[in-house]
Amino acid sequence: MGSVRVERTEDGFVARNESGAEITMGSGDGLFSPVELLLAAVGGCNVMTVEPLTAKRGHRLVRLAVEVSADKESPTLLRSVTVTYDVELPPEDSGEVFEAVAERVHERHCTVSRSLQRGTEVRLDLGR
């Protein structure tokens, strides 16, 4: 799997991946906070996995989006994350394929959601 480097800049912080893509983050207007990026990762993982799997079964969704929200247990700990789909199906589609795929993605395929649910270990290396 890849890695991401995060460093302080004059304007806040920037995360860069190995292919050169960048995301600026911080706590000001127009910036994503780290928790918001985590929620975006959960949502992105789900919809980016649902889309090709439903299309592969011949079901092209008219609209596919998710709203991802979190509840805090304490100031520095999330209690739960909720992924709410906003989907428009084609007129002839009953939604059964979408629902089955979305549930399977949630249970077995989305690395980000599954890692959060399992409680992935995060190690600290102080680089000394």
Distance, C-alpha 117 to centroid of its chain: 13
The CA distance from 70 to 45, in Å, is 16
Closest-CA residue to 101 (of 44, 59, 40): 59
Instruction: Output the pTM of the full model.
Output: 0.90
Question: Per-residue pLDDT tens for 68-120?
Answer: 999 999 999 999 999 999 999 888 878 888 999 999 999 999 999 999 999 99
Classify residue 69 as exposed, middle or buried by CB count within 10 Å of its CB (0-12, 13-18, 19+): exposed
